[in-house]
Amino acid sequence: MKLYIGNKNYSSWSMRAWVLLTQAGIPFDEVMLRFDAFTPDSQFKTALRKVSPSGKVPVLLDGELAVWDTLAIAEYLAEQFPEKALWPHDKAARARARSLCAEMHSGFTGLRTHCPMNIEASLPEAGALVWRDQPAVRADVARLIAMWRQCLDAHGGPLLFGDFSVADAFYAPICMRLRTYALPLPADIAAYVQRVCELPGVKAWIDGALAEQDFLDFEEPYRLSR
């Protein structure tokens, strides 16, 4: 299998699929398509059109089959590798995990808009202003806290459903955002974020992001340079 991804520092959707594969120990080849622009004639879009009808990353190729959209990739991997238990075994927990992932897929637009993923950066000053001025961000974080706490309490941790699952991979980029912008979190939720960051698959992605040394101005609303 091959996984096409964008820049590790910026591409949150790529991170979800890559972390899921890596943390689960599923072998794959990484194909990096670095962002240059998102215009139709950009090198990124030109290369991506050869493998993805959506023109977005990530894309999983399994032989001649292309699977795009992170949630579809997760479901495909769960079917192909049932022994990896990517979803919880319990039916109710599995339904809840899928609900969390679907909510991530379609929600948290305030946090995603005002706190774009930027693993290499440390932006507590920007985070403080966002927290002060953006009620949608405060609402998103409140929802995260309630949702994560309920899962951690119900399943005893250390991760959302006990062991690593698709849900943790889906929320790993959110953990990156919370850390980059130093948004306020209660101790139990901050501890969960730290545990996610220490997962080998997540740490490997972070290390890759730090090694890139790219600065893309169209991904940097809060900095003029590194």
- Give the burial string for 176-206 (b: 16+ CB within 10 Å, else e): bbbbbbebebeeebeebbebbbebebbeebb
Domain over 91-208 is classified CATH 1.20.1050.10: yes
Residue ranges of the chain that CATH labels 1.20.1050.10? 91-208
Q: What is the pLDDT of residue 53?
A: 85
pLDDT the model gives residue 86: 98
Q: Which of 143, 119, 120, 139 is nearest to 131 (CA)?
A: 139
pLDDT tens digits, 19-56: 999 999 999 999 999 999 999 999 999 999 999 888 89
| For residues 73-90, average pLDDT | 98
Mean pLDDT for the chain? Answer: 97
| 96, 121, 208 from 225: Cα distances, Å | 41, 10, 20
Between 105 and 18, the higher pLDDT residue = 18
pLDDT score for 120: 97
User: Residue 109 to residues 1, 73, 155: CA-CA distances in angstroms?
Assistant: 31, 22, 27
Q: What is the pLDDT of residue 29?
A: 98
Which of 19, 166, 1, 165 lies closest to 67 in space, CA to CA? 1
Looking at the chain, the domain(s) classified CATH 3.40.30.10 span 2-84
Q: Tell me the percentage of the chain whose pLDDT exceeds 70.
A: 100
pTM: 0.96
Class level of CATH domain 2-84: alpha beta
Query: Where residue 61 falls among pLDDT bands split at 50, 70, 90?
Result: very high
Angstrom distances, CA of residue 138 to CA of 87, 97, 128, 184, 210: 29, 23, 11, 9, 28
Average pLDDT over residues 164-180: 98
What pLDDT, in 10s, does the model give residues 63-80?
999 999 999 999 999 999
Residue 205 has pLDDT above 90, yes or no: yes
The predicted-structure confidence for 113-169, as pLDDT tens digits, reads as follows 999 999 999 999 999 999 999 999 999 999 999 999 999 999 999 999 999 999 999
The tokens for 178 are 């919370």
- The DSSP bridge partners found for residue 66 are 61
